[in-house]
A and B are shown apart, each in its own frame.
Chain A
Amino acid sequence: MSDIKVDAVLDITNEVCPMTFVKTKLKLETLETGQHLEVILNDGEPLRNVPRSLKEEGHRIVGTKKDGTKFHLIVEKGM
């Protein structure tokens, strides 16, 4: 995960659904296709919803790291 250059970081550990994905989506809108966003989220409900929503909207999760009860996702922005 460390070899990917991250263009922006977003911490959504203080958000609840659906704001977890809304904030992620808004942040991704500020990036260009192919750029990378690191998303820090809690396990449980955000982890069930954010990755699937990212995939459904055409983004790719290219890196992951577990950090206690948090996860870091590296998201490559899709078209």
Chain B
Amino acid sequence: MLDHNIEDEKYKVEVTVPVIGKSAGVLSFNDLKTGGYIKQRQKDKFTVRCMVPGGRLPIKKLKKIVEVAEKYGADYVHLSIRQSLEIPYVDYHNFDKVVAELSEVDQKVASCGPRVRVPTACSGCEYNPNGLSDTQGLTKVVNDKFFGAECNHKFKTSFSGCPIDCARTSEMDLAFQGAVFPEWEEEKCTGCRICASACQEDAIHDHPETGEPIFFPDKCLYCADCIRACPTEAWVSGKTGHIVRIGGKHGRHPFKGSVVAKFVSDEDVPVIIEKTVEWYNKHGVGKGRIRIGTLLREEGMMQSYMEHMKDVFKDKAVKDPKPPLEINIQE
């Protein structure tokens, strides 16, 4: 049986909790979905989406969610693709109790719809050996500042701590990947050739006689393997920061996001998001539910975006970036 009611404006129920942008009262299924209460196929049943920024869920909150799910939900919870924790089978008559009990531990319900979503992230540099950036710290900053900000369509962000890109920054509307540019200090180098072997990108060759590295920066993915492998600290961190990708998305017609800036700082990140959303909302007006990637693929839009961002990106801007690339997953 196909159920078309999920985003329907026709079907409404009276709820006793406010949802994002709306007070408690008679709300449509679509309004409720926007607020993180997603209509199920089953009559009166909704899935309540709990906000879990960057996939980090304090145990205190996890225990409370378990308690709430046992009381008002089914015998399981669902881990969403975007790291939220969802409680299915909640009767809408119980929304007020669910919200009140979750708020005892400051657990919020996440939103859907045309707005900045909860960022996803890897574990980051705090304890992951590959991590180059504080993805979890940035996730918190960005979620506190931007969660729920209205846009033309959904706006997904993520943070990856290294080029392995577990948080799939190339598939987000706007996302940041940790990066370190390696610099070599000749006087500390013993010519041991370890860096050339450690590099997975063929960006470092060893000199046939001296063993000293020959660096090809164009091939470098900024992963810092050479810095970590070097026994004598001859490779050190140069520029550090984030690679900025924009305009990616998944769905039926995915786009691969474009790199628009390199080595932006942590402090740049919220400014970049703010300015990008500003550009997106301005240029998406009257175009309906349009993703930023679709907008950037229109004639001249990439240049318009780069012009809008030039005071933020400064010398970190990529010259003439390509528009997001459409990927066909149907063939």
Contact = CB atoms under 8 A, between A and B. Distances in A.
Interface of A: 43-44, 47-49, 51-53, 55-56, 60-62, 64-66, 71, 73
B198 interface: yes
B192 A47 contact: no
Nearest to B227: A52
Q: Which 8 A-B pairs have the closest CB atoms?
A: A61-B231, A52-B228, A64-B192, A43-B197, A48-B198, A66-B193, A51-B229, A47-B197
A62 B232 CA distance: 8
Contacts of B231: 51, 55, 60-62, 64, 73
9 contacts: A47-B229, A48-B228, A52-B129, A52-B229, A53-B129, A64-B192, A66-B211, A71-B194, A73-B231
Interface string B193-231: 110011010000000000100000000000001001111
Nearest to A48: B198
Contacts of A47: 194, 197-198, 229
A39 B138 CA distance: 39
B291 to A, nearest CB: 37
Nearest to A60: B231
A49 B225 CA distance: 9
Given A47-B194, A48-B198, A48-B228, 4 more contacts: A52-B228, A64-B190, A64-B193, A66-B197
Nearest to B224: A52
Contacts of A48: 198, 200, 225, 228-229
Instruction: Count chain B CB atoms within 10 A of each CB in A43, A44, A52, A55 and give the residue with the most.
Output: A52
A64 B197 contact: no
Contacts of B190: 64
Given A61-B231, A64-B231, A51 B129 contact: no
Nearest to A44: B197
Contacts of A71: 194, 197
B84 to A, nearest CB: 31
B189 to A, nearest CB: 11
Contacts of A62: 231
Nearest to B191: A64
B228 A51 contact: yes
Contacts of A64: 190, 192-194, 231
Nearest to B230: A51
A55 B198 CA distance: 15
Given A64-B190, A64-B192, A66-B192, A55 B228 contact: yes
A52 B218 CA distance: 24
B319 to A, nearest CB: 32
Interface string B121-134: 00000000100000
Contacts of A56: 129
Contacts of B193: 64, 66
A1 B194 CA distance: 15
B144 to A, nearest CB: 32
Contacts of A73: 231
A51 B193 CA distance: 13
Contacts of A60: 231
A1 to B, nearest CB: 9
A64 B229 CA distance: 12
